[in-house]
Amino acid sequence: KFFKRRGAIWADWDKRRADVDFVCSPTFSGRDKNADAVKNFHKTPIRPYIHLEGGPYKGEGVRTALWTFAIGGGHYFYHDDSGQETVTTGIMCYDPNVKGCEREKHAERLRWLGYASRFFNEEIKDLEGMEPHNELVGSGNAYCLANPGKEYAVYSISGTSFTLDLSHINGRTFVGRFYDPRTGRYLEEFTCSGGKSVSFEKPDARDWALLLQQRR
C-alpha cells in the first residue's frame, strides 16, 4: 500500500491486480504477443495491461510484437535493454557515449512506436469502445480490435489477403484505409458494405494494418 498512501500510480504483476492501477505482463519473448494481450484484456477486475519487457529488441520483430500486443487491447512499453545490434549500446534509447551504439537502428524503432501510437490514439475514433474480436478475421494471419458495426482495426502479420466478417452488419457502408506500420502512411481509401464476409487484398505480403470505419 506504499504507493496508494502517497497517491501514486501503481503498476505491478497480475497477482496484485485487485490493488494496482496497471497490470504488467510477465517477462516473455516472441514476436506474436496477441494471445497474452487478449487473455488479460478480459480478466477481472479490469485493469490496463502493459507489456513491460521481453524481446525481441531488434529487427522487424519489434514491430510485430508491438502491433500484435496493441491490437489485442494491450499497452506496449519498449524496454530496449538487451539483444541489440551491437554488443554495447544505450539502455532503451540511443546513447552517444556508448561505443558502437547505432543511432539509426534506435531511431527506426522509435519511429515505429510513434506510427503505432498515432494510429491507435489519433486515427481510431473511439478507442475506449474497442475490444479484441479475433473471431471476425479469417485467413491472413490477422488479428482484430473492433467496436462491431462502427469501427475495426486489423493487423495482418503476413500473407496477401485476409477476410473480415461483416455479415452481422446490414445496410452500412464502411470507409477503409491500409496503414503502413513502417512509414506511418495511409494508402488511398476505399469503401465496402456490410452484410457479408469481405476479403481484403493487402498491398503486399508484409505486415499491414487496416482501419475500417462506418461512413457517416
User: What is the per-residue pLDDT across 121-147, written as a single tens digit (0 to 9) for each?
Assistant: 999 999 999 999 999 998 669 999 999
Name the pLDDT band for 81 (thresholds 50, 70, 90): low
Structural domains of the chain sorted by starting position, each given as residue range(s) with its CATH number in brackets: 2-123 (no CATH), 128-214 (2.60.40.1180)
3-class secondary structure, 1: coil
Compute CA 104 distance to the chain's CA centroid, rounded to the nearest angstrom: 23
Q: Are the C-beta atoms of residues 106 and 93 closer than 8 Å to each other?
A: yes
Residue type, 165: D
**Grid cell locating 173:** 457502408
Element (H, E) at 144: strand 142-147
Q: Are the C-beta atoms of residues 24 and 52 closer than 8 Å to each other?
A: yes
| Contacts for 135 with CB less than 8 Å, ≥ 6 apart | 165
Decide if pLDDT at 91 tops 60: no
What's the rounded mean pLDDT across residues 71-76?
96
